[in-house]
Structure 1
Amino acid sequence: MIPFEYAVLRVVPRIERAEFVNAGVIVYSQKADYLGAAVHLDADRLRALDPDADVDAIRAAAEAYAATCTDAAAAGPVGATPIGERFRWLTAPRSTIVQTGPVHAGLTDDPAAELDRLLRRLVL
């Protein structure tokens, strides 16, 4: 078993209401040299919180988080940093529409499989 950390990617369409929809998961394992993310934005759930939400723009912002994990070139300057620093940058507190929840830790045999499991359990 190897240690890993994860954070749920969430969408907070109206910051003043503090309501959110889980939209993805980011998984990091230093020991496995792994950083991955999966995104699934449920447009109907998002519109239930904010009927005027720009779903396409929000989806693009959430997918940028995932791209930062897997595509160093798409990540801009942060893409040149080690994956541990990238994970910390992605999970730093923000007061934007797309943000991450708290970081949690666990043990797994396969970080990529853990990403799929967490996406199914926490987002889908």
Structure 2
Amino acid sequence: MNPFQYAILRAVPRVERGEFINIGVVLHCQAEDYLAAAVSIDEQRLLALDPRVDLTGVRAAGDAVVRACSAVTGSARENTGLATRFGMLTAPRSSVLQPSPVHGGLTADPAATLTHLITRYVEPPAR
């Protein structure tokens, strides 16, 4: 088992209201040299929260996090290591996409853990 860190990605359609819907997870496991994000956007839930939400902008922000986990991009500072990149992706911000506080755990399979976290925290509960 290896330690890992993760943050929930939250869509915040109107920053001034502070209301959000969980739309993804970013997970880092240093021992496995693993950094990945997954996004699952429930457009109906977001529209219920704010009928004027910019769905294209929310999707673009989520997709950018997924790409940032797998591709070397930007400045040298962004590419100094996965831990640095994870820290940049999970830094607090006031935008349509905001990370939760960082949480930790233990995993033997980071990819399976990412799938589990998406199911637990992002997908709507089974009825």
TM superposition score category, shorter chain reference: over 0.9
Query: What is the aligned residue count?
Result: 122
CA contact under 8 A between 1:41 and 1:59: conserved in structure 2?
A: yes
Instruction: Report the Cα distance in structure 1 between the residues aligned to 2:54 and 2:19, rounded to whole angstroms.
Output: 16
Instruction: Report the Cα distance in structure 1 between the residues aligned to 2:74 and 2:34, rounded to whole angstroms.
Output: 19
1:59 maps to a residue whose letter is: R
Identity of aligned residues (%): 51
Matches within 5 A, 1:40-79: 40-72=40-72, 75-77=73-75, 79=78
TM-score scaled to structure 2, two decimals? 0.92
Instruction: Report what 1:14 is aligned to.
Output: 14
3-state secondary structure, aligned to 1:41? coil
Instruction: Report what 2:115 is aligned to.
Output: 116
CA contact under 8 A between 1:8 and 1:24: conserved in structure 2?
A: yes
Q: How many Å apart are 1:79 and its aligned residue?
A: 4.7
Moved over 4 A (4+): none
Instruction: Report what 2:32 is aligned to.
Output: 32
Q: How many Å apart are 1:49 and its aligned residue?
A: 1.1
Instruction: Report the Cα distance in structure 2 between the residues aligned to 1:64 and 1:79, rounded to whole angstroms.
Output: 14
Is 1:101 matched with 2:106?
Answer: no
CA contact under 8 A between 2:78 and 2:84: conserved in structure 1?
A: no
3-state secondary structure, aligned to 1:17? coil
Instruction: Report the Cα distance in structure 2 between the residues aligned to 1:89 and 1:39, rounded to whole angstroms.
Output: 18
Instruction: Report the Cα distance in structure 2 between the residues aligned to 1:106 and 1:50, rounded to whole angstroms.
Output: 33
2:30 maps to a residue whose letter is: Q
Q: How many Å apart are 1:100 and its aligned residue?
A: 0.4
CA contact under 8 A between 2:29 and 2:110: conserved in structure 1?
A: yes
CA contact under 8 A between 1:5 and 1:106: conserved in structure 2?
A: yes
1:9 maps to a residue whose letter is: L
Q: How many Å apart are 1:3 and its aligned residue?
A: 0.3
Instruction: Report the Cα distance in structure 2 between the residues aligned to 1:45 and 1:70, rounded to whole angstroms.
Output: 28
Provide, for residues 20-79 of structure 1, a one-character-per-residue CA deviation record: whole Å limited to 9, x for no partner: 00000000011111001000111111111110111012101111011100112xx32255
